[in-house]
């Protein structure tokens, strides 16, 4: 978050009251809540970042949708594997995740969808890391794969042919 953070008086008052309630409900962190109130009461705009340091940048709706589509694609790949007479090597079918260094926010959203929202549970099977964190950036490759996957008729997705799977996985 590099943009300048400013708050209206009403927003500051609202946050001050919330931190006051937290101070009473959470005595272990009383000092932090009191410091937050001081920052807000005095309008120390540079210090507002201290209050938001744990917030991540928002993921655009389009990126969230791409991640859902990627998880759906890998679920369809795994479903299709079950119907192939000539199986693909198991390692090629596993969802590689997202780069822990460069795409951690994408991995976190994928984990949220699978673990919290309880969707695409089959994609999690065989994962080496529970949080979908991988070693290399994958989003560009996934988008190439999605271009091809979106051309597959919806009714054929759970039973894609070996040729279609090879084409997807070789994108």
Query: Is there a single domain that holds both residue 90 and residue 107?
Result: yes
Residue 68 in any domain: the answer is yes
Residue 17 in any domain: the answer is yes
User: Residue 131's CB: how many other CB atoms inside 10 A?
Assistant: 17
3-state secondary structure of 50: helix
What's the full length of the chain, in residues?
A: 171
Query: Is there a single domain that holds both residue 65 and residue 101?
Result: yes
Residue 2 in any domain: the answer is no
Query: Is there a single domain that holds both residue 47 and residue 68?
Result: no
Tokens 């790949």 locate to 77
Q: What is the pLDDT of residue 171?
A: 86
Q: What is the pLDDT of residue 28?
A: 96
Query: Is there a single domain that holds both residue 102 and residue 137?
Result: yes
Query: Is there a single domain that holds both residue 98 and residue 24?
Result: no
Query: Is there a single domain that holds both residue 74 and residue 156?
Result: yes
Residue 111 in any domain: the answer is yes
Query: Is there a single domain that holds both residue 111 and residue 33?
Result: no
Residue 4 in any domain: the answer is no
Q: What is the pLDDT of residue 2?
A: 55
Count the domains in the chain: 2
Phi-psi region of 42 (alpha: psi -120 to 50; beta: other; left: phi over 0): alpha
Residue 131 is part of which domain span? 61-169
Q: Is the pTM of this model over 0.85?
A: no
pLDDT tens sequence across 130-160: 678 888 999 999 999 999 999 999 999 989 9
CATH at 41: 1.10.287.680
Query: Is there a single domain that holds both residue 27 and residue 95?
Result: no
Residue 35 in any domain: the answer is yes
Q: What is the SS3 string spanning 99-142? A: ECCCCHHHHHHHHHHHHHCCCCHHHHCCCCCCCCEECCCCHHHH
Query: Is there a single domain that holds both residue 81 and residue 164?
Result: yes
pLDDT-flagged residues of the chain (< 70): 1-3, 86, 126-130
CA atoms lying within 13 Å on the CB side of residue 139:
17
């Amino acid at each position: 978050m590099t943009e300048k953070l400013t708050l209206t008086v009403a927003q500051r008052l609202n946050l001050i009251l919330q931190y006051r309630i937290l101070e009473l409900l959470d005595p272990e962190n009383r000092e932090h809540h009191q410091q937050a109130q001081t920052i807000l009461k005095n309008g120390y705009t540079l210090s507002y970042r201290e209050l938001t340091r744990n917030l991540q940048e928002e993921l655009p709706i389009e990126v969230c949708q791409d991640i859902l589509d990627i998880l759906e694609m890998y679920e369809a790949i795994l479903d299709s594997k079950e119907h192939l007479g000539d199986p693909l090597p198991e390692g090629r079918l596993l969802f590689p995740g997202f780069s822990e260094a460069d795409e951690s926010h994408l991995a976190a959203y994928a984990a949220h969808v699978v673990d919290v929202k309880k969707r695409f549970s089959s994609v999690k099977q065989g994962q080496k890391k529970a949080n979908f964190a991988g070693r290399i950036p994958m989003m560009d490759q996934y988008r190439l794969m999605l271009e091809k996957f979106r051309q597959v008729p919806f009714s054929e997705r759970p039973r894609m042919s070996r040729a279609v799977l090879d084409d997807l996985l070789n994108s």
